[in-house]
Amino acid sequence: MHNKTLSELSAALKAGEFSSTELTQSYLNRIAELDTHVNAYITVSDESALMAAKAADQKIAAGEAGPLTGIPLAQKDIFCSKGVKTSCGSKMLDSFVSPYNATVIEKFNQAGSVMLGKTNMDEFAMGSSNETSFYGAVKNPWNTDKVPGGSSGGSAAAVAARLAPASTGTDTGGSIRQPASLCGITGLKPTYGRVSRYGMIAFASSLDQAGPMTRTAEDAALMLNCMAGFDERDSTSAQREVPDYTANLSDSLDGLTIGLPKEYFGEGLDASVGKAVEEAIAEYKKLGATVKEISLPNTHLAVPTYYVVAPAECSSNLSRFDGVRFGYRCDDPIDLEDLYKRSRGEGFGSEVKRRIMIGTYALSAGYYDAYYIKAQQLRRLISDDFKRAFEEVDVIMGPTAPEPAFGLGEKSDDPITMYLSDIYTIAANLAGLPGMSVPAGFVNEMPVGLQIIGNYFDEARLLNVAHRYQQVTDWHQHAPAQFK
Amino acid sequence: MSLTQDDVKKIAHLARLSISDADIPSYEKELSNILGLVEQMNAVDTSDVSPMAHPLDMAQRLREDTVTEENHRDDYQSVAPNVEKGLFLVPQVIE
Amino acid sequence: MEWEVVIGLEIHAQLATKSKIFSGASTAYGAEPNTQACAVDLGLPGVLPVLNHEAVQMAIKFGLATNSHVAPRSIFARKNYFYPDLPKGYQISQMDLPIVGEGSLEIRLEDGTVKTIGITRAHLEEDAGKSLHEDFQGMTGIDLNRAGTPLLEIVSEPDMRSAKEAVAYMKKIHSIVTYIDICDGNMQEGSFRCDANVSVRPKGQQELGTRSELKNINSFRYVERAINLEVERQIEIIEDGGKVVQETRLYDVDKNETRSMRSKEEANDYRYFPDPDLLPVEIDEKTIDAVRKTLPELPDAKQKRFTSEFSLSDYDAEVLTSTRQMADYFEAVVKASGGEAKLSANWVSGALTGSLNKESIDIENSPVSAEMLGGMIKRIADNTISGKIAKQVFEAMWQGEGDADSVIESKGLKQVTDSGAIEKIVDEIIANNQGQVEQYRAGKEKVFGFFVGQVMKASQGKANPAQVNQMLKEKLKG
């Protein structure tokens, strides 16, 4: 059961091969047995999962099932889930049981899916290795001495280790795509505004997007069908129809023009990763695509720009965590100042505090123009680079990450080396463009991902491009030895 | 751009974060490094560029002025650290 | 040394929307603590703001009513600071691009001159919650019902030069926002709050003096007092050789003094930046025109019309147009009375207002309706009753005894206008008071009043005073 894709599971449930209850129980058993090796889950919600499975079984029996009815899924612990702890990977929210559901969770509930539990993540989504979680690091299922990537490390590891057939993640600077690449799975960050942010604990409001993390592009399309859509509770939600993302998956790629930014293949890229990506591009040529070299000249500014914009927004977004209405409160505060400072000082981990401080500094009097405004100007330049590129090409490709998964603890001493893991993914967030990572091979037995960036709201094309590749390769079907 | 210890203390205060004296030097170093990374932004002239606050070119949607929320005080306060008589309690604030 | 006072006012008007500016929770006053604070108002993790259409409409209305620029594009910004009544740790407000820009209005000073006061801007923002300090032994209780209520912050140019001018401006703003129905103007409930920025400088100096900000003034009277106190305080400091410190001061009503607020710290660094959860608000000409059509007649226009249409003095017109409700009431009275503007003006601004104030009732809840009052005035005009008797009639109507005609009927208050009847009484009084007649004829004019009094008494006040006067004059001539 645990090697079936979502579409296979859906068909099997409808055909009565097994029930959702059986399927769910099977996953819960696997999690109980194997999650200790990867620490992908913060909370496993056995009881409510089985209840949901039971309800799904009834729907299936009545012939009222949709494509995700009865399907067990893992949800990143950044989505507020009513009645189930939502920690965001932080001590600050260790005691927080959300009184309401995120829109994304609501949508999955309405689709009749089953929530297995909440997955581990870098604290408040800040990180690229899932080592900053209050609940301990997540291990890469391919090699448990290595990181799974972050911040959606738990979601990626859960899918790779077959501890969930699919999961959700969020991506602010690469947090879906980079862990997908490091764990050998498929991940999609939709266009900004495609999926509602209501109930998704905010890190950087103008960059955050939720998306699916699955083993196949087809599964990602099924998930996106459910997740996408206008939400009146989110002012930044796009009022745009949701097409059926599964409809054009197998369309021919004849005439597709792929842009390869020369800046993505230069210094900093591991040679073997570069080679794997080139082989993937070769496959695309066989599929009928033409390849063109393009330039995104402001690429080198993406990381510095991001590390002003994101911390600035997060420094403000995290001010609500003050020990007053929810979350961690320090013991015996002597006065209000003490309440704030110690609740926040003790409740937040060091990476979060670093980013809050950078952000506070960037917004403070005298520095706002030099940092924040400057960064937003560069953001426009970076975005314009892509606009120009998309006048010549249909999609842009390159490596998702500069190297395969690194060792646990290897980069945690120097924040900056960690930040550079996102060098290829960040620009898409700054521009708001959709991006995917698909498994494209192995280097030293560790997975490597191919990144595909599309134009605004062109997810259908991205999924088609990814799916066609998965029809002629089998990287996405490999499973880590321990978790086959 | 290098930060001083004083800078670090000021920022920590603005952000209401308690940091121990022992930690200040490492924050000083790390934050200065990050600012060094960020300084790379100055390599490009942006004098004619308008700042981009949002990826999408959309205007703010307006919602109708109707009351759509009911009283869920008990639910919301079930996660509160200190509540009495329906009020959230904090150490006394003197004006 | 001649001093010049420079005053600017920042007024926060709570907009009378049904729901909050960024959420669908109710804004109704007086609810149990935290029963009107939804997830968005509480700043729970993951919640997001969506802008209330009516708040925008109301801001546009204000802009139009004060000849201000309405911005085609405006931005919400976050004002970041920590305080327990501010759940998100930031207030959503507007900084660089407010919804309403420059405008102006006119105030009338006591000597009748008109002065123009500039409005710098008006912007939308959300209100914070409330802190309750008593009852919790060393703790403060936070009620977030008010958090998220829409506010329009109206900032004036520092154009006022005296406390009286400041009060006139504040009253004008108050009347405008209540006229256009965007705010209920209830200062006790906190719907209309005023902060004053006050500084002094030697007359003739261009440079502004250091200003202090006065907070917590929620009545016209207190504004005047607080400003005057502050001016005195600042002048004293400077004359003693000291320097005025820029600070925030609270007005203490009981002690009638201003005191420095326990210093939060030096100027707060609010780190304003555009709120990434909200998009730019775009307002086109079509929208503005549609709002313009909904504007009622504004106070100034109404006042001008009253002076010409009803031949009222500027002062009377100003009093009667001070609220829209009173103006509407007055016009209804005039209509019901058959056009008796002057009498109506006197009764509305006199006896009616006095009775309303005595019992703290709003004109909308007056036991004497405009029709009733107008009906009574009609009877004065047609001589059925005298002005003096009317007082009794009014009182009876106020007590719920019926309309003017039924009261006059039941109490037999009809004026006696029959000259024969009056003559009879006059003759009798004259006959019985020969001594006074002699005095009057000898030149003691004051005695006339005695006769009038006697005749009125004999007729139980019902004799038509004018006729009595005339007749007495005739008959006493001798």
pLDDT, mean over chain A: 96
State both tokens at A329: 């409160």
pTM (two decimals): 0.91
Report how far residue C474's alpha carbon sits from residue C423's, in angstroms, rounded to the nearest whole number.
11
Band of pLDDT at residue A50, cut at 50, 70 and 90: very high
> Domains (ranges, CATH) in chain C?
3-290 (no CATH), 297-411 (no CATH), 419-477 (1.10.10.410)
Which residue of B lies nearest to A361 if distances are taken between CA atoms?
A: B11
Give the per-residue pLDDT at C330.
96
Number of DSSP helices (H) and strands (E) in chain C, helices first: 17, 16
Provide the pLDDT for residue C478: 65
Written as tens digits, the pLDDT of chain C (478 aa) is 789 999 999 999 999 999 999 999 999 999 999 999 999 999 999 999 999 999 999 999 999 999 999 999 999 999 999 999 999 999 999 999 999 999 999 998 888 889 999 999 999 999 999 999 877 788 999 999 999 999 999 999 999 999 999 999 999 999 999 999 999 999 988 999 999 999 999 999 999 999 999 987 888 988 999 999 999 999 999 999 999 888 889 888 888 888 887 554 455 799 999 999 999 999 999 999 999 999 999 998 999 999 999 999 988 998 899 888 899 999 999 999 999 999 999 999 999 999 998 998 889 899 999 999 999 999 999 888 888 889 989 999 999 999 999 998 888 888 777 778 888 888 888 888 888 888 888 888 888 888 889 888 888 888 888 888 888 888 888 6
Kindly state the tokens that stand for C464.
């038509």
Chains that touch A (3 or more CB pairs under 8 A): B, C
Q: How many beta-carbon contacts under 8 Å exist across A and B?
A: 171
Per the domain annotation, does A329 fall within a domain? Answer: no
Contact C141 B88 (CB under 8 A): yes
* Domain range for A171: 6-256+393-483
Structure tokens at C23: 């959420």
Which residues in chain A are closer than 8 Å to B16, comparing Cβ atoms? 319, 322, 337, 340-341, 344
Whether residue A388 is contained in a domain is answered as no
Tell me what pLDDT residue C262 has. 58
Indicate if the pLDDT at residue A448 is higher than 90: yes
Eight-class DSSP state of A61: H
Q: Which among C132, C136, C282 is the nearest to B59, CB-wise?
A: C282
The active-site residue out of A45, A155, A175, A181 is A175
The whole-number pLDDT of residue C218 equals 84
Tally the C-alpha atoms within 13 A of residue C72's C-alpha that lie toward its C-beta.
3
CATH code of the domain in which A164 resides? 3.90.1300.10
**How many whole angstroms separate alpha carbon C186 and alpha carbon C177?**
11
CA-based nearest residue in chain A for residue B19: A345
The token pair at C283 is 């307002």
Cβ A313–C276 below 8 Å, yes or no?
yes
Q: Are C463 and C471 in contact (CB under 8 A)?
A: no
Task: Tokens for C262, please give them.
Answer: 């326990």
Domains in chain B: boundaries: 5-41
Tokens 């004019």 appear where? Answer: C445
- B62 contacts in A (CB within 8 Å)? none
Q: What is the pLDDT of residues A150-202, one digit of tens each?
A: 999 999 999 999 999 999 999 999 999 999 999 999 999 999 999 999 999 99
pLDDT at C267: 59
> What are the per-10-residue average pLDDT scores of chain B (95 residues)?
89 94 91 87 90 90 96 94 93 76
Q: Which CATH number fits domain B5-41: 1.10.3210, 1.10.10, 1.10.20, 3.40.50?
A: 1.10.20
**Is the preceding omega at residue A151 within 30 degrees of 0, hence cis?**
yes
Q: Describe the strand order of the beta sheet including A209-214 as a list of residue ranges.
A: A41-44, A114-119, A72-76, A167-171, A209-214, A186-189, A435-443, A446-453, A395-399, A257-261, A290-294
- CA of C267: which chain A residue's CA is closest? A365
Which one-letter DSSP state was computed for residue A300? G
User: Is A151 part of the annotated catalytic residue set?
Assistant: yes
A72 pLDDT above the threshold of 60: yes
Beta-carbon contacts of C274 under 8 Å, excluding residues fewer than 6 positions away, are B53, C75, C76, C77, C78
The pLDDT tens digits of the residues spanning A400-447 come to: 999 999 999 998 888 888 888 899 999 999 999 999 999 999 999 999
Amino acid C161 reads: R
Best probe of the A interface among B9, B90, B93, B95, by most A CBs < 10 A, is B90
Report the pLDDT value the prediction gives residue C216, as an integer from 0 to 100. Answer: 72
Q: What per-residue confidence (pLDDT) applies to C253?
A: 82
Q: What percent of chain A has pLDDT over 70?
A: 100
CB pairs under 8 A between A and C: 97
Q: Is residue A431, in this structure, part of any structural domain at all?
A: yes
Q: What is the pLDDT of residues A129-145, one digit of tens each?
A: 999 999 999 999 999 99
Structural domains of chain A, count: 1
Say if residues C88 and C44 touch (Cβ distance below 8 Å).
Answer: no
Q: Is A472 inside any structural domain? A: yes
